């Protein structure tokens, strides 16, 4: 490590470049000692000079008045193996610049660390232990990302409590005008600005450079949003406030999360980036043998799409919260989490090779929550009378299947923390090793937000406590992921975006799944719950007027394009039994991979990816398209030379269309090699899925 000491310099330009020399960052102290950075790619400026700093709740914010105390440079290169992932090996190679600053008036010390990779940049603020800055409150973070033009952006509105929006594609200058139409019915009313957007934010310049702004390693800090100055095209950081309006409470020594900018000259470069994972700490779990990718079915779509209920009954003679006497009532008859129905799912899972069965609505309290007060507290231990927790788990285990736990916290967070140890102990007692948790509703205590520092700490607390019990966590309505699954790989999935459930609430845009891998999935996998085979929701629930905006073939493709080690076959068994030939792909497709190749992509239009199943020589390919459809010319050059493979192609039929003919598909088989070129067409809102297995 080389060190260079420089004092009282405001104009000094200090540059650090990526290992391949194409990405560079220049740091400068300008004016009255204002920290500033700029970023270039292939000799083109992609982030114009942008200010850095923190506004504190007390006097003397950390915005200006700095001098340069010293700089340190280093290079790092390692290859590490994730517990699960898109590839077996990940290279973590960067050049680093540490800038040590001192604020002359106060004597306070603030460092800024830059790591420059071949695919982008990460930087963060660091505060060494010091007498002049011990406990401090961040009122605002003033990090800027100054864009070099009116770029195309794929964005969702800035919201402190939900990411469940369809994406809008527009120029930066159009965001203000389009914001109102982009806000959907589920908006949390915590929108902070008519030009505020959430990360990960995908951008494309007029000359074809792709940029992605996000954050990594979000720990003990509040989640970052971006507020656009649409006169100058400068994004200003907007943190999620706490109940008092502050952004973060800190104690030195400490540091912020990484602020990240990915860059590539083609869209596939963004999708294949490991920048976010690399900026997180290595795995902290010594024995990871119990962490396994999961393919599951579950008692879920019956309620989401079928109109059935989570609660045992709504017909209560009297209600006293938390003290319902179920001996006085009869079941409503619409409660799917019952012994007979759950056994049906267990049998289906065992017959078709699924690992687990999720059961929602198994525990008491749902009728009070839905019907009376969302302050109601679940205990996460007491089953309804028609759910025999011991017998059902014994039955599942006898079939080689596990049940998956469900914890809906109703956002009563302190209550969940009080019950957490007992709830995890119950899971251990009955052999559960995975939990789907939910945070529907406004956070209790009131005034806190889903994405604030307090809740960020809660989500991680649940994951770290779960690790002690050998439990994997899939948190819904939580803060969007920032790569923490590297450090805590029992964080096997999240929702934190608009998922398949919205297909029963009016539908997602057909382009939605061509954008999510560029945005939400940059920080970690999503429990998107694909695999819906009946698109006309009125046939599932006569009261529904919704439509699933996808072809059946694209539902298969999502198991490949929407990377996750946690994949659900989300539809009900009887729908799969109608299309067993297509269902075969869901049975066959892997959930853990040795290699992934992004073959062609354009946000909002199409994504095609090939993945090699863990420990095998079998490949799976998926393509998802937007409203216009897509024609692929697909060389299979990723296959081993000299070998033959049996290829099964699940594709849209020639007359398929997501609105008018979504269940029209074809299945073709052929022998292929690395010299084969496939020509396949994805229908509007469609796609295709391919299984390629080495001939024995």
Active-site annotation holder among 501, 534, 600, 627: 501
The encoded tokens of residue 66 equal: 């700095």
The DSSP H or E segment spanning 66 is strand 66-80
DSSP string, 507-573: ---TTHHHHGGGTGGGGS-B---------BGGGT-TT---B--S-HHHHHHHHHHS--SEEE--S-H
DSSP state at residue 157: B
Q: How far apart are CA 64 and CA 74, in angstroms?
A: 26
What residues contact 289, with CB distance under 8 A and at least 6 apart? none
DSSP state at residue 388: -
Q: Is 58 a catalytic residue?
A: no
Strand locations in 89-192 (E): 90-103, 109-117, 120-127, 135-141, 144-146, 152-155, 168-171
Residues 546 and 507: beta-carbon distance below 8 Å: yes
Ramachandran quadrant class, 274 (left: phi over 0; alpha: psi -120 to 50; beta: rest): alpha
Sign of torsion, CA 587 592 594 596?
Answer: positive
Residues 499 and 527: beta-carbon distance below 8 Å: yes
Q: How far apart are CA 577 and CA 336, in angstroms?
A: 19
Q: How far apart are CA 645 and CA 651, in angstroms?
A: 18
**Prior bond to 577 cis, omega within 30?**
no
Burial annotation 62-72 (CB, 10 A radius, 16+ → b, else e): bbbbbebeebb
Sign of torsion, CA 279 122 521 693?
Answer: negative
What residues contact 549, with CB distance under 8 A and at least 6 apart? 503, 507, 508, 509, 510, 535, 658, 659, 685
Q: How far apart are CA 518 and CA 262, in angstroms?
A: 11
Which contacts qualify for 614-619: CB closer than 8 Å, 24 or more apart? 614/88, 614/590, 616/590, 616/694, 617/643, 617/694, 618/590, 618/691, 618/692, 618/693, 618/694, 619/645, 619/690, 619/692
Q: Where are the alpha helices (DSSP H) in 562-694?
A: 573-578, 580-588
Instruction: Give the SS3 label for residue 301.
Output: helix
- Cβ count near 309 (within 10 Å): 20
Q: Is residue 162 exposed (0-12), middle (13-18) or buried (19+ Cβ within 10 Å)? A: buried
Question: Which residue has tokens 């809660």?
Answer: 458
Q: How far apart are CA 695 and CA 646, in angstroms?
A: 6
CA distances from 114 to 16, 25, 47, 60, 63 (A): 8, 8, 14, 24, 18
Taking alpha carbons only, the member of 110, 37, 97 closest to residue 67 is 110
Residues 410 and 452: beta-carbon distance below 8 Å: no
Q: How far apart are CA 505 and CA 189, in angstroms?
A: 19
Q: How far apart are CA 45 and CA 24, in angstroms?
A: 9
List active site positions: 501
């Amino acid at each position: 490590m080389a060190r260079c000491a420089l004092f009282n310099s405001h104009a000094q330009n200090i540059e650090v470049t990526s290992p391949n020399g194409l990405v560079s960052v220049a740091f400068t102290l300008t004016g009255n000692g204002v920290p500033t950075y700029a970023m270039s790619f292939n000799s083109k400026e992609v982030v114009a000079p942008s200010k850095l700093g923190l506004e504190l709740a007390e006097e003397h914010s950390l915005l200006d008045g700095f001098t340069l105390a010293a700089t340190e440079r280093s290079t790092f290169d390692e290859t590490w193996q994730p517990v699960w992932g898109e590839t077996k090996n990940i290279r973590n190679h960067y050049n680093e610049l540490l800038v040590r600053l001192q604020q002359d008036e106060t004597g306070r010390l603030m460092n800024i660390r830059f790591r420059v990779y071949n695919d982008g940049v990460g930087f963060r603020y660091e505060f060494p232990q010091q007498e002049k800055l011990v406990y401090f409150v961040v009122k605002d973070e003033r990090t800027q990302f100054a864009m070099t033009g009116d770029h195309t952006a794929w964005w969702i509105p800035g919201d402190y409590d939900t990411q469940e929006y369809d994406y809008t594609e527009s120029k930066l200058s159009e965001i203000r005008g389009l914001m109102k139409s982009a806000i959907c019915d589920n908006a949390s009313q915590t929108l902070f600005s008519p030009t505020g957007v959430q990360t990960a934010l995908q951008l494309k310049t007029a000359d074809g450079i792709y940029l992605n702004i996000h954050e990594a390693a979000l720990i003990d800090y509040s989640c970052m949003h971006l507020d656009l100055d649409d006169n100058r095209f400068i994004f200003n950081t907007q943190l999620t406030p706490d109940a008092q309006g502050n952004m973060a409470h800190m104690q030195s020594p400490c540091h912020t999360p990484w602020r990240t900018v990915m860059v590539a000259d083609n869209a596939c470069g963004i999708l294949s980036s490991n920048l976010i994972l690399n900026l997180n700490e290595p795995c902290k779990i010594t024995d990871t043998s119990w962490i396994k990718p999961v393919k599951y079915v579950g008692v879920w779509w019956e309620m989401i799409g079928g109109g059935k209920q989570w609660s045992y009954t709504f017909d209560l003679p009297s209600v006293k919260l938390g003290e319902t006497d179920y001996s006085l009532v009869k079941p409503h008859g619409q409660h799917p989490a019952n012994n007979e129905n759950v056994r049906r799912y267990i049998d289906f899972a065992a017959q078709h090779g699924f690992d687990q069965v999720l059961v929602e609505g198994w525990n008491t309290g749902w009728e009070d929550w839905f019907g009376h007060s969302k302050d109601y507290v679940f205990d996460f231990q007491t089953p309804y009378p028609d759910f025999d927790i011991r017998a059902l788990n014994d039955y599942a285990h006898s079939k080689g299947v596990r049940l998956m736990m469900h914890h809906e916290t109703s956002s009563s967070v302190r209550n969940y923390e009080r019950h957490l140890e007992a709830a995890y102990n119950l899971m251990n007692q009955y052999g559960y090793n995975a939990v789907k948790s939910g945070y529907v509703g406004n956070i209790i205590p009131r005034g806190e937000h889903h994405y604030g520092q307090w809740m960020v700490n809660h989500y991680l607390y649940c994951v770290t406590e779960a690790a002690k019990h050998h439990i994997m966590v899939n948190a819904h309505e939580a803060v969007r992921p920032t790569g923490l699954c590297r450090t805590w790989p029992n964080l096997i999935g999240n929702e934190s975006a608009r998922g398949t459930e919205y297909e029963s609430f009016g539908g997602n845009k057909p382009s939605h799944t061509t954008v999510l891998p560029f945005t939400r999935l940059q920080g970690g996998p999503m429990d998107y719950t694909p695999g819906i085979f009946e698109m006309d929701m009125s046939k599932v629930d006569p009261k529904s007027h919704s439509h699933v905006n996808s072809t059946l073939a694209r539902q298969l493709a999502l198991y490949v394009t929407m990377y996750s080690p946690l994949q659900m076959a989300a539809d009900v068994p009887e729908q799969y039994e109608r299309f067993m030939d297509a269902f075969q792909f869901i049975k066959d497709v892997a959930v853990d991979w040795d290699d992934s190749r992004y073959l062609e992509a354009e946000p909002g239009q199409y994504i095609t990816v090939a993945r090699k199943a863990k420990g095998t020589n079998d490949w799976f390919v998926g393509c998802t398209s937007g409203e216009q459809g897509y024609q692929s010319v697909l060389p299979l050059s990723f296959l081993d030379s000299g070998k033959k493979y049996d290829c099964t192609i699940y594709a849209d039929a020639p007359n398929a269309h997501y609105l008018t003919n979504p269940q029209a598909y074809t299945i073709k088989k052929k022998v292929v090699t690395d010299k084969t070129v496939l020509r396949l067409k994805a229908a509007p809102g469609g796609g295709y899925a391919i299984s390629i297995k080495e001939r024995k």
